[in-house]
Copies of this chain bind each other. A is one copy, B any other.
Amino acid sequence: MPRYWWVNHKQTVRQEVDGQYLWSPKMARGKDGARRNVFYDNMRRATPGDLVLSYANGQIGFVGRIAEFAFTAPKPSEFGKTGANWSDEGWLLPVFWVPLEHPIRPRNFLDALAPLLPSRYSPIRPETGMGNQGVYLAEIPEGVYREVAARVSFSHEALRQGGANSLTYGNVRDWIEEQMVLRLERDPHLDQTTKRSVIQARRGQGQFRTSVGAIEPACRVTGVTNPSLLIASHIKPWRVCRSAEERLDGMNGLMLTPDVDLLFDRGFITFEDSGRTRTSERIDSGDLRRLGLQQLTLDDLGFSEVSAPWETRAFAPRQREYLAYHRSEVFVS
């Protein structure tokens, strides 16, 4: 069953619809510092196939289908000054947006809508139909979506089919990373050799790979040691590293076989400091078995079935700092 969402994004609607995504900071900034915010946390709850209404300037203009789970990504550069107060790191949620033939104003059918709005975290005021300040991505009852959908025209076919394969995690990640490479190439503080190494590190090659290989000679899940079959994977992703040092740090890497690299990069698995693996409930155990990774499937208590000796080699202190980031910001729990 899909869930239904509503986003108030007056400031960024153009960029987010054009770019086929939603982006939010992870934490809200208040007078008393950063704190969690239910509307930003909702970014991680949205699941591929869920539907979302885009609201800005008093009207709903687009309906979207969530294409992928949210993942950690830097603030899109096209936000410009709009996002100046936001942190540089947040959740990016790929959404396939379809325009309504005619935008619709919730204020104009508030009698039908108001009784269905949630009492808590409602995206609009039931009295006025205007957006609630401070709400970003809010969950709405199916009924609210139905009331809107019954009054508008859009291509249901496009919403269901279009871009089915284009808004992949890989596509979006590559697009972000290419922006970072362009920025990197213009950086006056880095010499050419470092730039080259940092760009090679993006694909797990060059100096970064050599450094990681010296620390981690084998894949911690499969035990493979043949270098031809190993990928040097960043623990803290390349796209969100703060500096060239972090991107080139051998302590920020693991040698993993390709299937394991994908699962780790995508946040479907992570590691405890002890070396033990953790598997997300979002990854299907049948898929893990088809990948030949039975050792990662969960038993009824949520633990991996098999614990191989190489899994339990504890990590070094500097690896643990990067792993703490991976567990909290990449792992899809």
Contact = CB atoms under 8 A, between A and B. Distances in A.
A257 to B, nearest CB: 6
Contact of A229 (B165, B228, B291, B292): B291
Contact of A262 (B213, B223, B229): B229
Contacts of A204: 170
A222 interface: yes
A262 B259 CA distance: 10
Nearest to A171: B205
A157 to B, nearest CB: 16
Interface string A238-264: 000000000000000000011101100
Best-buried of A213, A229, A261 by chain B (most CB within 10 Å) = A229
A207 B292 CA distance: 29
A100 interface: no
A227 interface: yes
B258 A213 contact: no
Interface residues of A, number: 38
A284 interface: yes
A319 to B, nearest CB: 18
A193 to B, nearest CB: 13
Nearest to A222: B290
Contacts of A200: 171, 174
A166 to B, nearest CB: 6
A170 B205 contact: yes
A290 B170 CA distance: 26
Contacts of A164: 210, 213
A168 B229 CA distance: 11
Contacts of A222: 290-292
A164 to B, nearest CB: 7
A50 to B, nearest CB: 16
Contacts of A213: 164-165
A226 interface: yes
Given A229-B262, A291-B224, A203 B170 contact: yes
A284 B227 CA distance: 12
A206 interface: yes
Interface in A204-232: 204-207, 209-210, 213, 222-224, 226-229
A293 interface: yes
A294 interface: yes
Contacts of A174: 200, 203, 205
Q: Across chains A and B, which 5 residue pairs bring their CB atoms closest together, nearest first?
A: A292-B292, A258-B258, A165-B210, A171-B205, A165-B213
22 contacts: A68-B228, A164-B213, A165-B209, A165-B213, A165-B227, A168-B209, A170-B203, A170-B204, A170-B205, A170-B209, A171-B200, A171-B206, A174-B200, A222-B291, A222-B292, A224-B291, A229-B259, A229-B287, A258-B258, A258-B261, A258-B262, A259-B292
Given A164-B210, A170-B203, A258-B259, 19 more contacts: A68-B228, A165-B227, A166-B206, A168-B205, A168-B209, A168-B228, A170-B209, A171-B200, A174-B200, A222-B290, A224-B291, A229-B262, A229-B291, A257-B291, A258-B258, A258-B261, A259-B291, A291-B292, A292-B292
